[in-house]
Amino acid sequence: MKPLLKSVHLALWGSVILLMVGSSVFARSHRYQNYHQSIKPKISAGAAFNIALHNGQIQRWPGEHSTLTKPAQAFGTLAAPYLDGPATDAINYEQDSNLNNGAQVPPDNAACVGPNHVVVAVNTAIEWYTKTDRVQQHSESLNDFFADTNPSDLFDPRVVYDPYDHRYIVIADEQSTSPSNINYIHLAVSMTDDPNDGWYFQRIQTKTTINGKETWLDFPGLAVSGEAIYITGNMFDFNNVYVASRLWILDKGLYNGSDTSSVAIFDISTEAGLEDQAFTLMPSRMYGPQHIIEGDTVGTFLFSSEWDDGNGNDDLIAVFWVTDPLGQGTGPLFGVQFLNPGQIHDNDAGLPDAPQKDSDYKIDFGDTRAQSCFWKGDTLVGAFTVNPFDGDDAGQATVFWFTALTNNLPAIALDQQGLVGAEDIADTTFTGFPAVAINYKGDIGIGFSASAPSIYAGAYFTVHQSTDAPGTVQASQLLHEGMDYYLRTFNPFHVGNRWGDYSSLSLDPENAYNFWVFNQYAWTRGDYDPFSKEDGRWATAFGKINPSDTQAGLAGTTTLSPQGFTLEQNYPNPFNASTRIRYYLSKSADVQINIYNARGQKVADVFSGYQNGGEHELIFDGNNLASGIYFCTLKADAREQKIKMILLK
């Protein structure tokens, strides 16, 4: 692999700086000299729990085994958007406890969907299920899952599906001060698009010396593009004082099994020309053809919330981007631009805790840090939680979402913005911990948590349909209702009655239309702690969202054309007896496309010859084959990809 370049290059485009990674000399944007973040940095609740556990301030003990017995109830109307199929119960407090000899709070909810499976990771456990019939195929602790990298007490997991190379990616954090200061990110990549086929593992050293201080990574973000994997983190010293933020860029060497991913670390805030450090840089999950600027591919976009420009605008959103992330040309290059949504958050009051039914104890809904973002078709959608300065939701934790147009880099334009007040669920509803994605029609899916004086904390979702007025959303819909009040602070070490720290919403790579939402809800109480006198328990669920009442089979699929090497899932699939095969070549190459049966025997030569780089499509006719499972392979540029095809006659 070509190494990341280390020379300095600067281009000023209006108010936006692009700066190549380089030495200790960095240029500054005069316009951004007074910009700083108004959010107060703090470690995540998952990290606080882990630190207290290591320090002996919290002791785990296995709780009694329990199972979920109450299904999700219908909510809202049958009009779109709606839950397409059941809400499927996943990891809960007791399962996490049984797998890890004690449960952890809060349940950081990470999940993604692939062609045939849903992979979920919560706190210290991982599971995966089939998409069609929701059969659980695997369940174990994260420590056992990552046994090859020798971890202990992992926390803050993240999971994404790579639609460019058809793999699942899982990361988890490890931090300890005893017997010495350590910090690692543990990385796993599935061998194929089926998590049952096995995984490759790698441990990444993330303990970093910044300004003379040893720091560790908290609240990791994870994203993937056609070229690279992106991991972000808030860097705290080992006294848990915030120091800086960092971005790690990895190539996909681990995908080969016999290799590992090369890793490079970047101070993206400074290198983009800022005086202040961005707290919580959330990288964007990428889907579809990536943007090209000055001949270089934009690897990913990132955003950071709650900036103050020194002129009374204290709710600015910083949008960053990375071009040529692996240094194949003149990069990596970093850019930043600030968007002004107006005063959307009451900075003096902060983010209030959420009320809940049957209890005077409120739930900590976190803070205003960036929570989730997704990029597709030159549109970036992001979300976080605010306390609106005025309006119907003033004084309540409320999900804020926005879209930005990236087609005219570096002049990013704020397109629309809105709130998810969810007062249609109950009066005085608090919302938080959002997750977002956008489909090929332009519908935006938003998953979120909600709690109110008259309801228990539960999992919900809504959609901004492409035909809706800017900034508006459809009716709130239920993923799973809360079933009891929630209180679990682990006194006398008080980590807070925390909810979150995040949730997940994924775009279905099989049709680029449906969303899959994953979140927590307040479960029935149990596992009484005689020291803190608390018995709150959490559970999680996932479900498939139909965003605008269109059958996915009729909606078709979007063209996926990354700046890399990609074989799309054939469409339709299952098929009878012809199907379309689409693929993308980053450069001209000799191409072979073949069909194999389930025994590995080649049954058809679809194409063999030289083709130019770009998008290609062909029709495969299976009239001469019997019904069954087949595999289509694409070989080009010394690489190979495979998809599963089902022929039904």
pLDDT tens-digit readout, 453-496: 999 999 999 999 999 999 999 999 999 999 999 999 876 555 67
What are 556's two structure tokens?
């078709």
| Of 66 and 278, the one with more pLDDT | 278
* Least confident residue range of 47-61, 175-189, 216-230: 47-61
pLDDT at 567 (0 to 100):
84
Residue for token digits 């060497």?
Answer: 253
Q: Are residues 584 and 495 in the same domain?
A: no
Tens-digit pLDDT profile for residues 279-313: 999 999 999 888 888 788 999 999 999 999 888 88
Instruction: Write down the H helix ranges in 14-157.
Output: 45-54, 93-100, 142-145
Q: How many helices (H) and strands (E) does the chain have?
A: 5, 44
- Domain with residue 217: its CATH number is 2.130.10.10
Q: Are residues 22 and 52 in the same domain?
A: yes
With cut-offs at 50, 70 and 90, classify the pLDDT of residue 613.
confident
**Torsion 563-566-569-575 (CA) sign:** positive
Compute the C-alpha angle 263/273/307, nearest 5°. Answer: 100
- What is the span of the domain harbouring residue 616? 567-647
With cut-offs at 50, 70 and 90, classify the pLDDT of residue 499.
very high
Q: Are residues 221 and 341 in the same domain?
A: yes
Q: Are residues 69 and 202 in the same domain?
A: yes
Nearest residue to 27 via CA among 36, 18, 40, 39? 18
| Of 1 and 531, the one with more pLDDT | 531
Is the predicted pLDDT of residue 14 greater than 50, yes or no?
A: no
Is the predicted pLDDT of residue 61 greater than 60, yes or no?
A: no
Is the predicted pLDDT of residue 545 greater than 50, yes or no?
A: yes
Burial class (CB in 10 A: 0-12, 13-18, 19+), 181: middle
Tens-digit pLDDT profile for residues 73-131: 334 444 579 999 999 999 999 999 999 988 888 899 999 999 999 999 998 999 999 99
Is the predicted pLDDT of residue 530 greater than 90, yes or no?
A: no
pLDDT at 408 (0 to 100):
87
Last residue of one domain, picked from the residues 523, 552, 581: 552
What's the whole-number average pLDDT of the chain? 86
Q: Are 503 and 447 in contact (CB under 8 A)?
A: yes
Does a structural domain hold residue 68? yes
Q: Are residues 115 and 231 in the same domain?
A: yes
Q: Are 416 and 473 in contact (CB under 8 A)?
A: no
What letter would DSSP give residue 74?
Answer: P
Torsion over CA of 71, 72, 77 and 83, rounded to 10 degrees? -100
Does a structural domain hold residue 499? yes
CA distance 225 to 250: 11
Q: Are 256 and 194 in contact (CB under 8 A)?
A: no
What are 26's two structure tokens?
């960095």
Does a structural domain hold residue 636? yes
Q: Are residues 450 and 590 in the same domain?
A: no
Does a structural domain hold residue 561? no
Is the predicted pLDDT of residue 556 greater than 50, yes or no?
A: no
Q: Are 463 and 80 in contact (CB under 8 A)?
A: yes
Percent of the chain with pLDDT over 90: 67
What are 567's two structure tokens?
């074989």
* Least confident residue range of 135-149, 306-320, 493-507: 493-507
Tens-digit pLDDT profile for residues 317-363: 999 999 999 999 888 999 999 999 999 999 899 999 999 999 999 99
Nearest residue to 327 via CA among 300, 292, 282, 296? 296
Q: Are residues 418 and 489 in the same domain?
A: yes
Q: Are residues 475 and 574 in the same domain?
A: no
- Domain with residue 624: its CATH number is 2.60.40.2550
pLDDT at 114 (0 to 100):
97
| Of 21 and 328, the one with more pLDDT | 328
Q: What are phi and psi of 389, to 5 degrees?
A: -70, -35
Does a structural domain hold residue 1? no
pLDDT at 496 (0 to 100):
78
pTM: 0.80
Q: Are 462 and 81 in contact (CB under 8 A)?
A: yes
Does a structural domain hold residue 322? yes
Torsion over CA of 129, 132, 134 and 137, rounded to 10 degrees? -40
Is the predicted pLDDT of residue 523 greater than 90, yes or no?
A: yes
Q: Are residues 574 and 601 in the same domain?
A: yes
Percent of the chain with pLDDT over 70: 86
Is the predicted pLDDT of residue 17 greater than 60, yes or no?
A: no
Is the predicted pLDDT of residue 56 greater than 90, yes or no?
A: no
pLDDT at 1 (0 to 100):
29
Pairing of strands 285-287, 372-376: parallel
- Whether a cis peptide bond, with omega within 30° of 0, leads into 195 is no
Q: Are 39 and 305 in contact (CB under 8 A)?
A: yes
Q: Are 446 and 425 in contact (CB under 8 A)?
A: no
Does a structural domain hold residue 560? no
Is the predicted pLDDT of residue 448 greater than 70, yes or no?
A: yes
Domain count, the chain: 2
CA distance 636 to 588: 9
Does a structural domain hold residue 558? no
What are 436's two structure tokens?
């977002």
pLDDT at 55 (0 to 100):
56
Q: Are residues 270 and 353 in the same domain?
A: yes
CA distance 356 to 284: 32
Q: Would you mind telling me the total number of residues written for the chain in this entry?
A: 649
Last residue of one domain, picked from the residues 502, 523, 552: 552
Last residue of one domain, picked from the residues 506, 526, 552: 552
Q: Are residues 451 and 576 in the same domain?
A: no
Tens-digit pLDDT profile for residues 146-172: 999 999 889 999 999 999 999 999 999
Q: Are 202 and 224 in contact (CB under 8 A)?
A: no
CA distance 407 to 413: 9
pLDDT at 559 (0 to 100):
38
Tens-digit pLDDT profile for residues 191-218: 999 999 999 999 999 999 999 999 999 9
Q: Are residues 572 and 511 in the same domain?
A: no
pLDDT at 31 (0 to 100):
67
